[in-house]
């Protein structure tokens, strides 16, 4: 059976199904990394999206439980030029793993052309069908009227529902889970006692964990979604009590809490080769990124300390007792240039 991808602008890309059979819709986004496909597919920041890889072959080292960033696949669908059927390691092929996760995939299409189209038109809504339940024309019509994934509160669907702890020594860090990658928890737990709490934990709940520092995670969706307003208010209260650090969505929420604004990027930053300038050290980091929104104007007294060298967007801010970065210093997958930023978390606590 032939599968297809239909975009809201009328584009139809036909290919070969793999993974689970099904019909799904979502926001079509692309990732430019050559490796780390399983980490990307299990990154909660991709919730609500159809993930397309630009590298020609995906799956050539298989899939393994140790390479996951969450409990399972977070994307709605996977699109590749070629799915490798004979990987040299791993416990499952990409096809087998996606099938076990219930995620449909499509291969055999020109992902580079679709990437150029996305860059020119901006992120598009799309429908992926591998079970024959719709015609491509019906897919175009469905894509044109579907709600944007970020119109709903995606954070609530990917956050932990119960508090848990990691790490046995060091200062106490309370981590607000808005879709946290487990590599962030692992990095923090190396030198800190980490308590991970649900996305909507209020100031009373934070106080009960007796933190030395509050850490805000990555996650999917629009930071200015109405249901995130109480979260922003909680962060504003936290800023008066403890040091605060954020990554990705945490960076955007910190910006809002400080009085700034956010906006949606044309096609986002998703890959492992984004150059970021550290203005303090006059140093360039090559970074891993996955986000579709960015910080806009910030009030006086808040410094922009990291800048994306491709489009000059804000990649990091610093204010009284707080700082944040848009990129992922934990990499996973990606370069380890910025991993040293986790040392600054301990330095903030130690003073």
> Which residues participate in catalysis according to the annotation?
248, 328, 330
CB of 74 closer than 8 Å to CB of 80: no
> Contact, 29 vs 47, CB < 8 A?
no
How does DSSP assign 289-300, residue by residue? EEEEEEE----T
- Residue 229, phi then psi, degrees to nearest 5: -60, -45
In the block, which residue shows the tokens 């986004």?
29
DSSP state letters, 159-186 = S-SS-EEE-SSSSEEEEE-SS--HHHHH
């Amino acid at each position: 059976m032939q599968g297809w991808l239909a975009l809201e602008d009328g584009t139809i890309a036909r290919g070969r199904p793999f993974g689970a059979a099904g019909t799904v819709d979502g926001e079509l986004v692309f990732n430019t990394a050559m490796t780390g496909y399983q980490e990307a597919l299990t990154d909660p920041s991709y919730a609500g999206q159809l993930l397309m890889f630009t590298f020609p072959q995906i799956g050539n080292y298989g899939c393994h439980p140790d390479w996951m960033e969450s409990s399972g696949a977070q994307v709605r669908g996977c699109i590749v030029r070629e799915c490798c059927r004979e990987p040299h390691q791993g416990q499952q092929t990409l096809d087998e793993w996606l099938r076990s996760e219930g995620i449909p995939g499509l291969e055999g299409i020109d992902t580079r052309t679709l990437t150029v189209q996305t860059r020119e038109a901006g992120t598009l809504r799309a429908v992926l069908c591998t079970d024959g339940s719709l015609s491509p024309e019906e897919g175009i019509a469905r894509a044109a009227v579907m709600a944007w994934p970020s119109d709903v509160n995606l954070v609530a669907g990917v956050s932990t529902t119960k508090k848990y702890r990691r790490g046995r020594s060091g200062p106490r860090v309370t981590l607000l889970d808005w879709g946290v990658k487990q590599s962030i928890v692992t990095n923090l737990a190396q030198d800190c006692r980490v308590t991970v709490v649900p996305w909507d934990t209020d100031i009373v709940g934070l106080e009960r964990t007796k933190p030395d520092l509050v850490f805000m995670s990555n996650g999917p969706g629009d930071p200015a979604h109405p249901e995130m307003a109480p979260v922003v208010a909680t962060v504003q209260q936290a800023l008066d009590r403890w040091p605060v650090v954020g990554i990705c969505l945490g960076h955007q929420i910190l910006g809002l809490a400080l009085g700034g604004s956010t906006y949606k990027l044309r096609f986002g930053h998703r890959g492992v080769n984004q150059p970021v300038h550290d203005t303090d050290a006059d140093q360039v980091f090559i970074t891993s990124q996955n986000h579709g929104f960015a910080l806009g104007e910030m009030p006086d007294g808040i410094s922009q300390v990291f800048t994306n060298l491709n489009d000059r967007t804000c990649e990091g801010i610093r204010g009284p007792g707080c700082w944040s970065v848009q990129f992922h210093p934990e990499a996973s997958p990606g370069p380890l240039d910025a991993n040293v930023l986790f040392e600054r978390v301990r330095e903030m606590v130690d003073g």
